[in-house]
Structure 1
Amino acid sequence: MPDHKIVDHEAWLEARKALLDLEREETHLRDRVNAARLALPWERVEKDYRFETPDGAASLGDLFAGRRQLIVYHFMLGPGWAAGCPGCSFIGDHIDGTLVHLNNHDVSWVAVSRAPMAEIAAYKARMGWRFPWVSSHGSDFNYDFNVSFTPEQMASGTIDYNYEALPSDQGHDELHGMSSFWRDPDASLFHTYSSYARGIENWMSTMMILDRAPLGRNETGTMSFLKRHDEYAAAPVHSCCHAAE
């Protein structure tokens, strides 16, 4: 058993109520952040970005699939990679079940990577995912949204990621993030929001569940336990769980 303070029920209840006050404060802060996010100004998308899809070439407007809102996940899978980023793959595991609800609420969701479509399709098949996933190979899209970086940018010493300059020798030439877009009836497109790094951590609902487990995330480093879902060995069996068997 972990080394943890053990108290009677009354003392536990007092501590739990104190934590509830903090949890309510967190909820109210999240509401304020969400309101501020919705109040952000928008910027017009001027470039005619093109993508490769399973059905052929498509524009950014086509990715809306007839809806007014689009969320793009910038998935780390570069050209020639044998597999996608484990963290991005973890997010991918959370998406398929949400699509029907997002679509019904006038929101389309699509993953975008720089890998060619054939490489995306192969990895998608391996993982068993159904969500839409397209290639920006040959496009400026990933570079313009600061999730892909040219050799010159990597050699410069710094890259622009998550709205700050970061040392390029501490990063990769592909990083993750998300971007939201709006499509007007006249087909004008607007970029409304982008977020990177831990800014979309709450997309990973598994982490939110772990936060309520007795050991929490139980990490030695950020998501140190994480593997692609087909790479886990059988879960360890602890003798305490089978003592009565």
Structure 2
Amino acid sequence: MKTPPIVSPQEWDVARQDLLVEEKKLTRARDALAAKRRRMPWMAVEKEYRFDGPEGPVSLLDLFEGRRQLIVYRAFYAPDVTTYPQGGGAYPERACVGCSFLADQVAHPAHLNARDTTLAFVSRAPQAEIQGLKERMGWELIPWYTITDDFDKDFGVDEWHGTNAFVRDGERIYRTYF
């Protein structure tokens, strides 16, 4: 195994301080980019979008669950999704590998909800399949809806997974980020 140079504690401290300068520069750049993201203009959502949920049809406004902000993750789970079917199963037993990995990372929504934010997943699969997948994978806490119209196409997630953020002012909905 090829290793980096072995140095004294003093040389290590110098190297660490040099790296820290670069890390701080990156942190300041990331903070500036985050501020720019927060200043992005909003786009009014003029179309009425509908989804199927575990309790029946719902609107995009319903997905907010009364909160001000909504984060919608388009997860690839549908009859035509065939990521890695060899030896690992295919639809409906599994969803997109990357989308599944992301779903595995979703924690209890209480902290998001306390910040007036709702997270929802949407897919093209029917609710019966979504509910079965959620139960098999232990994703019961993720609100997950079936796309029934052009939502995915209109918001740039018809050919790939993606995250859109929305905010509402009363019943008006605005897209704030993708």
Higher relative CO (Cα under 8 Å, sequence separation at least 6) belongs to 2
Q: Is the Cα contact below 8 Å between 1:180 and 1:191 reproduced in 2?
A: yes
2:121 alignment partner in structure 1 = 111
**Counterparts in 2 of 1:2 and 1:59: CA distance versus 1, 3 Å:** farther
2:64 alignment partner in structure 1 = 64
Which TM-score applies when normalising by structure 1?
A: 0.65
Alignment of 1:177-192 (within 5 A): 177-185=162-170, 187-192=171-176
Kindly indicate whether residue 136 of structure 2 is the aligned counterpart of residue 126 of structure 1. Answer: yes
Which TM-score applies when normalising by structure 2?
A: 0.88
Q: Is the Cα contact below 8 Å between 1:77 and 1:115 reproduced in 2?
A: yes
Alignment of 1:138-157 (within 5 A): 138-148=148-158
State which of 157, 161, 173 in structure 2 corresponds to 1:176.
161
For these two proteins, the number of residue pairs brought into alignment is 166
Q: CA deviation at 1:125?
A: 1.3
Identity %: 46
Secondary structure class of the residue paired with 2:27: helix
**Counterparts in 2 of 1:54 and 1:4: CA distance versus 1, 3 Å:** same
Moved over 4 A (4+): none
In structure 1, what is the Cα distance between the partners aligned to 2:5 and 2:77? 45
In structure 1, what is the Cα distance between the partners aligned to 2:116 and 2:2? 46
1:92 alignment partner in structure 2 = 103
The CA deviation string for residues 78-109 of structure 1, in whole angstroms up to 9 with x for no partner, is 23541111111111111123x11110000011
Alignment of 1:185-200 (within 5 A): 185=170, 187-194=171-178
Question: Is there any run of 5+ residues in structure 1 with no aligned partner, and where?
Answer: 149-173, 195-245
1:74 alignment partner in structure 2 = 74
Moved more, 139-148 or 77-86: 77-86
